[in-house]
Amino acid sequence: MERCENSIGEQEKRVVKFIRGRTRVVHNVSSDLRVTLRCGPCGAIRLSIFRLNLISHINFWELTPSSSSSWIWKKLCKLRLIGRHFLVCDVGSGETASFWHDNWTRLGPLIHVTGNNGPLTVGMPLTDVVRDALRGRSWWIASSRSRNPIIALLRSSVLDPESMIDCMHDDVYLWKADHHAPSNMFSAAKTWPALHPNGVPFPWHKSVWFKDRVPKHAFICWVVAWNRLHTRDRLRSWGLNTPSVCVLCYVVDETHNHLFFQCHFSGEVWRFCTLRAGLTPPSQFMASLLWLKSASTFKNLSLIIKLLFQASVYLIWRGRNLRIHSNNFRNPPQIIKEIQLLVRARLDPLSRLQSSGPL
């Protein structure tokens, strides 16, 4: 650690090597951007190098990295816009937290609420820490008689200063992701959904991404659901000089809807898969996808139908590609046989896991 503080270049290199070499790294961002690296039996090592050498006396939220700064430092500065939303400050003695920049009130960073005129209006410089706002045992703005709306807003939002006045411990910076309680541990699992909120699920979602699916079959099915396969009608719409006719039947132009399952070739495959179960699925791909959700009330049969459907889509598309690129012509019975083999291979380990009998 002592050697680490000798030069900026050396420190940054060591930090990067340290991070790469450990399997469990927990980042805890504090006011001086100390980075806590916890590495199993090695315990916790705190590095204040960023503050010492990279930030100096400039507020972290305001500084602009120089053009000669390292890549990792510039990257970290860019991430401030995203990370700031998650950082909250639990004020202890108030000697570290920035009055204007840190998120220590229910309003968030006060500079965002008041704008750049805030410090001038309130009479507190941008560099003030929270404790600087005390006069005796109360906030100085509490005694202000100003009717300025900014001062009135701050007066109503600041905390009770009593707990801070005699406090001996430092301010603590916590990570708060959405509705989760603030924590001194960074959680990727909680942060990811906060950054990427789930959209409204599509009605066919569970017909594609169901438990026990075959991943590559589900993926192709998902691509078809979005009409994103490179079918001949799409290639031609992009200006490519390619034949338009379906290579499975050589009768109708190739489109998503034709391939799945209006083509008599693919229709024969899909119908055979459901015939034995006495089911009559729709002939359109999307209608079939929605139909799968309620195709059977029996859990095992429902799973089998979904697996058959996805295997059919996968192998029909594969059969079409083999015809075009390898001159390999397979007829519907050959594809049906392959579907049966694939689905059996998927069901065998599942049936062994089931304690309530075979599928």
Number of other CB atoms surrounding residue 280 within 10 Å: 10
100: nearest Cα among 84, 85, 87, 116: 116
Which one, 110 or 263, has the nearer CB to Zn ion? 263
Q: Which is nearer to Zn ion, 49 or 246 (CB)?
A: 246
Residues in the chain: 359
Residue among 248 and 269 whose Cβ is closer to Zn ion:
248
End-to-end CA gap in the chain: 60
CB of 270 to Zn ion, least distance (A): 13
Task: Please state, in angstroms and rounded to a whole number, the distance separating the CA atoms of residues 318 and 305.
Answer: 20
Taking CB under 5 A as the rule, does residue 248 contact Zn ion?
yes
CB of 73 to Zn ion, least distance (A): 58
Of the two residues 249 and 301, which places its CB atom closer to Zn ion in the complex? Answer: 249
Question: Does the protein bind Zn ion through residue 39 (CB under 5 A)?
Answer: no
344: phi then psi, degrees, rounded to nearest 5: -60, -40
Structural tokens at position 262: 């209006």
Segment interacting with Zn ion (CB under 5 A) among 116-124, 141-149, 257-265, 348-356: 257-265
Query: Segment near Zn ion (CB under 5 A), from 97-105, 247-255, 307-315, 334-342?
Result: 247-255
Which CB atom, from 7 or from 331, has the smaller least distance to Zn ion? Answer: 331
Q: How far is the CB of 268 from Zn ion (least distance, A)?
A: 11
| Cα→Cα distances 26→42, 79, 99, Å | 13, 17, 27
Grouping H, G, I as helix, E, B as strand and the rest as coil, residue 252 is coil
Euclidean distance between CA atoms 359 and 348, whole angstroms = 9
Q: Which C-beta is closer to Zn ion: that of 98 or that of 266?
A: 266
In the complex, least distance from residue 345 CB atom to Zn ion, rounded to whole angstroms: 28
CA distances from 19 to 12, 26, 36, 39, 260 (A): 11, 10, 11, 9, 49
Cβ neighbour number for residue 256 with a 10 Å cutoff: 20
Helix (H) or strand (E) holding 142: none
Q: Which two tokens stand for residue 279?
A: 């089911």
249 binds Zn ion (CB under 5 A): yes
Distance CA 244, CA 235 (A): 9
CB of 305 to Zn ion, least distance (A): 23
Q: Which is nearer to Zn ion, 99 or 260 (CB)?
A: 260
Rounded to a whole number of angstroms, the minimum distance from the CB of residue 247 to Zn ion is 8
Q: Tell me, what DSSP letter sits at residue 38? A: E
The piece of 135-143, 149-157, 167-175, 258-266 that touches Zn ion (CB under 5 A) is: 258-266
SS3 314: helix
Tokens of 118: 């805030």
Question: Which neighbouring-strand residues pair with 98?
Answer: 129
CB of 244 to Zn ion, least distance (A): 11
Applying CB under 5 A, which of residues 141, 263, 273, 315 lies at the interface with Zn ion?
Answer: 263
Choices 43-51, 186-194, 246-254, 273-281; region in contact with Zn ion by CB under 5 A: 246-254
Q: Is 246 in the site for Zn ion (CB under 5 A)?
A: yes
Q: How many residues bind Zn ion (CB under 5 A)?
A: 4
**Options 65-73, 103-111, 236-244, 256-264: segment touching Zn ion (CB under 5 A):** 256-264
Smallest gap from Cβ 249 to Zn ion, in A, equals 3
Stretch that binds Zn ion, among 74-82, 185-193, 241-249, 318-326 (CB under 5 A): 241-249
| Residue 253 DSSP label | B
Q: What's the closest the beta carbon of residue 329 comes to Zn ion, in angstroms?
A: 14
- Which residue ranges make up the site for Zn ion (CB under 5 A)? 246, 248-249, 263
